[in-house]
A and B are shown apart, each in its own frame.
Chain A
Amino acid sequence: MSEAVQPTKAAHPWLVPLLAVVVVGAIIAGFGLALNRSQQDSIDSGPAPDFTLRLDSGGDFKLSEKRGKVVVMNFWASWCGPCRSEAPMLNSLYTEYRAKGVEFVGVGYLDNRNDALRFISETNMSYPTGNDDGTRVSRAYRVRQVPESYLIDKQGNIAMHISGEITPANVAQVRAALEKALAG
């Protein structure tokens, strides 16, 4: 066919390769970032992501405003059995440490309004709680199941991450961590 063609050089020889490198490079970099993100597991340490939570009782809970205080966050849902089991434990911890200035906040995860309200009244949840609208907070903390609890120290770093229920078996550790955070 027409193989005997005189090859002619393009007008701007650097344009297409440059464009190709930039565009393709950007796409590849994007994929790398996305892959990195998808492989990340839960956050166990480091600075606790800031958030603002609209509380059921009114007002907002903003984490960064609590700098200088120890904060306990608990992700829960009405459809979660272990959340129901750990509720008395959490309530008693709250009663015990509230006086020492520890702030407790519950974060409702993927829950319907009525179900959530029912859960709160059934478990006599004594500490403030709010619904995680748009799952913003749970995504920031990479929460994918409940219950999850986070202990945040006075400097705003995650001191302890309890993945699962707080039971008599591990509550001693939780207490120890709380004391440590209060001291530090």
Chain B
Amino acid sequence: MLAELGIITTGLALLCAIFALVASLFGAVNHRERWIRAARNAALLTWPLLTTACIAIVAAQLTGEFNIAYVYNTTNTTEPLFYKATALWGGQPGSLLFWSWMLSTFTAAAVLINWKRERRLIPWVITFTMGVLAFFLVLNVFVENPFARYWTTGTGDPIMSVLAPAGMQLFQPIDGKGLNPLLRHPGMVIHPPMLYAGFVGFVIPWAFGMAALASGDLGTNWIKATRRWTLVAWLFLGLGLILGGRWAYDVLGWGGYWGWDPVENSALLPWLAGTAFLHSVLIQEKRGMLKVWNLFLVVLTFLLVILATFNTRSGLVDSVHSFARSQVGWPMFLFTAGTVGISLGLWVWRWQRGELRTENKLDGLLSRESMFILNNWVFLAITLMVAWGIYAPTFTELITGEKITLHTDYYRYYVIPLFGVLYVLMGIAPLVAYKRMAWKALGRSLRVSLIGTALFAAFLIVVGTTPGAVFAYTLVMLAAFTTVIEYVRGTRARMRAHGESAPQALTMLFRRNQRRYGGYLIHLGVVVIGFGIIGSTVFQQTTQQTITPGQTITLGAYTLRYDRIYQADAEDGRGIVKADATVLRGGQPVAEIHPRKDFFGTGGMTSTIAGQYSTLEADFYVLLDNWQGDRATFKIFLNPLVNLVWWGGLILIFGTLIAMWPRAEYEPAVQTARVPREAAAVAV
């Protein structure tokens, strides 16, 4: 029953999406209100249909309907409820359905919110969002259907099919395979939804951008309508990335949180383009410039989202994150090629017609506008270098036949320095005036920041650290100083102008300038993350030793004392080997940790869970590598400042919430003014 419900609702949703696509296109081109209305209704209808489909599959997973292939592959009877409920995105078909549902939700929200306000854009918005939704539903219905079931003739192996084959009965396996053990972690519950919300969230700004290109409404309407969407999508994507890192740090057992894996990088690409876009639209709102850039950036962000999902699902690049091999490769390729063609085609078309020009040109070489352009360029450079790192091995093999690896060294030397440039920009650009600024004036503004930074650098040199670290920390600190100084100046200006106390002034600063000061808070979050990354990468220490109970290993200021090791079986059938150990600092015990290894089934899959002692200062991170009897081999990492990465992420969330929080729209104050006769006579 659940499967039939699912098949029917997804099929109907596909029909609605196709109808909405065609109707809105027709209505937009020919200005037919009724067609547009019909398209809107069809688009909205996809939401209850897809919600029902999702509920159907989740219900099937919770109740153990193992004749549905997807349920069989992602759940089993011993799996905790927690993971059964989130198995919706545990495999390719379900995650595609989840994508579609999310897109339908976001589209419904965007359409309903903007229906009255953006009459010129909305028809096209429906066209483009429904186009994307239709494609994903085609995948969901015809290629990777989560409601395919097992059928058998009674003899022979069961086959998988959506519709009942002639003369076959439903086959009901007794138990399922269960979720991949490596995915059984709270990270699995939150990381994919965050990431998908980020990816799908960027479809809306793209659709509005495309609507702007298609309709000719090339001003700031499309940007204003999607301002919060972009921020929210950006936040979710950023969080998805940070959470992914945290999850990897917790369970993958190599002491790090970012592996420059192709799929990780693929998710980073739209975040980079999206950040550039976020910043660049400010200039269009302020001065009407950079239209070409903004439309290009929103198109690029969307294309990178599609590329990311293509990479993950098609098997084009080898990665630990890839889904199992499936048929979606070529359909996704065609869809990607098609969207590239249409998006870039529209953009070039408008550019050729000169409609993306503005009368405001760049004034000064040193100006806020030029800083933003430089910002765009640096982000694009990073995007190109990271994308190159992902694809160069594949393409090199095509050309030369030789397979190469581009990994840590490549990113360390060619990508990280560009991030350093971004920190410098963060430290300088907020102080640069619009239109034009004299270099001397910038020097004056920067004075306090530079002095503070120089003092900090001197402090580091005195304390004693490597030159590279001094340089890196100093760059990040410059950004910190500038941001803090902006707050100080703003607060003092308010105190002077309104006579408020310092805390009052600061609060009002946030209230009256949400975007700006929320944005600065985000910058502070990025600064904190920067410190965390530098500390945990540059100053990471590691050692691996084999000891017996009672012996110790010392790393940095910490000592590990190995107490005992034992084996057990968990209730879900896992075999566990766990070590008890005590962490000592300065001779005093500070924590008990339990590094362990989990063994799943006969497939030999192992999960290595670290024992961690975490403080702001450092993470003392211990892995149980191997053992023989009670001789155990421990691999220990000392990651200084790594927790700043996660705390920085929290600051980032907070800043974004402030920046995007809905405000009461103020009524414009209306007052009739009397114009003096003399002034009226002056020709303006």
Contact = CB atoms under 8 A, between A and B. Distances in A.
Contact of B357 (A7, A16, A139): A7
A113 to B, nearest CB: 21
Contacts of A169: none
A20 B352 contact: no
Nearest to B337: A28
Contacts of B330: 35
B395 interface: yes
Interface string A40-58: 0000000000000000000
B398 A10 contact: no
Contact of B354 (A2, A8, A28, A32): A8
A170 interface: no
A17 B358 CA distance: 21
B266 to A, nearest CB: 13
B545 to A, nearest CB: 25
A2 B401 CA distance: 53
A38 B394 CA distance: 9
Interface in A1-47: 1-3, 5, 7-10, 13, 16-17, 20, 24, 28, 30-35, 37-39
Contacts of B316: 31, 34-35, 38
Contact of B351 (A16, A30, A38, A139): A16
Nearest to B352: A13
Contacts of B95: none
Contact of A32 (B315, B333, B355, B359): B333
Given A34-B398, A38-B316, A7 B355 contact: yes
B354 A37 contact: no
Given A16-B352, A20-B348, A28-B340, A38 B315 contact: yes
A47 B120 CA distance: 60
Contact of A35 (B333, B344, B351): B333
Given A1-B220, A2-B359, A34-B398, A39 B352 contact: no
A110 B394 CA distance: 20
A6 B193 CA distance: 46
A26 to B, nearest CB: 11
Contacts of B315: 38-39
Contacts of A5: 355, 357-359
Interface in B378-416: 391, 394-395, 397-398, 401-403
A39 B394 CA distance: 13
Nearest to B356: A7
Contacts of B353: 7, 9
Contacts of B333: 31-32, 35
A13 B357 CA distance: 15
A164 to B, nearest CB: 19
Contacts of A9: 352-354
Contacts of B397: 37
B340 A24 contact: yes
B67 interface: no
B465 interface: no
A35 B325 CA distance: 12
B288 interface: yes
Contacts of A28: 336-337, 340
A24 B351 contact: no
Given A17-B348, A20-B348, A1 B398 contact: no
Nearest to A15: B352
Given A7-B355, A35-B314, A35-B316, A20 B344 contact: yes
Nearest to B358: A2
Contacts of B219: 1, 3
A20 B349 CA distance: 11
Contact of B329 (A10, A39, A134, A135): A39
Contacts of A17: 348, 352
A31 B358 CA distance: 36
A136 B329 CA distance: 27
Contacts of A10: 351-352, 354
A19 to B, nearest CB: 9
Given A28-B340, A34-B394, A1 B288 contact: yes
B360 interface: yes
Contacts of B218: 3
**Chain B CB within 10 A, most for which of A9, A35, A135:** A35
A17 B344 CA distance: 9
A35 B394 CA distance: 9
A5 B330 CA distance: 43
Contacts of B355: 5, 7
A8 B352 contact: no
A144 to B, nearest CB: 11
Specify which of A16, A38, A134 lies most central, judged by the most chain B CB atoms within 10 Å of its CB.
Answer: A38
B354 A16 contact: no
B354 A7 contact: yes
A9 B337 CA distance: 28
Nearest to A37: B398
In this complex, the member of B287, B316, B329, B355 whose beta carbon has the largest number of chain A beta carbons within 10 angstroms is B316
A139 B359 CA distance: 57
Contacts of B403: 135, 139
A23 to B, nearest CB: 10
Q: Can you list the 10 inter-chain pairs with the closest CB atoms, starting with the nearest?
A: A7-B354, A1-B288, A2-B288, A8-B354, A2-B359, A34-B394, A28-B337, A3-B219, A7-B355, A17-B348
Given A135-B403, A139-B403, 9 more contacts: A9-B354, A20-B344, A28-B336, A32-B333, A34-B391, A34-B394, A35-B314, A35-B316, A139-B401
Interface of A: 1-3, 5, 7-10, 13, 16-17, 20, 24, 28, 30-35, 37-39, 134-136, 139
21 contacts: A1-B288, A2-B359, A2-B360, A5-B355, A5-B358, A7-B355, A10-B351, A10-B352, A17-B352, A30-B398, A34-B316, A34-B391, A34-B395, A34-B398, A35-B329, A38-B394, A39-B315, A39-B329, A135-B403, A136-B401, A139-B401
Interface of B: 218-220, 287-288, 314-316, 329-330, 333, 336-337, 340-341, 344, 348, 351-355, 357-360, 391, 394-395, 397-398, 401-403
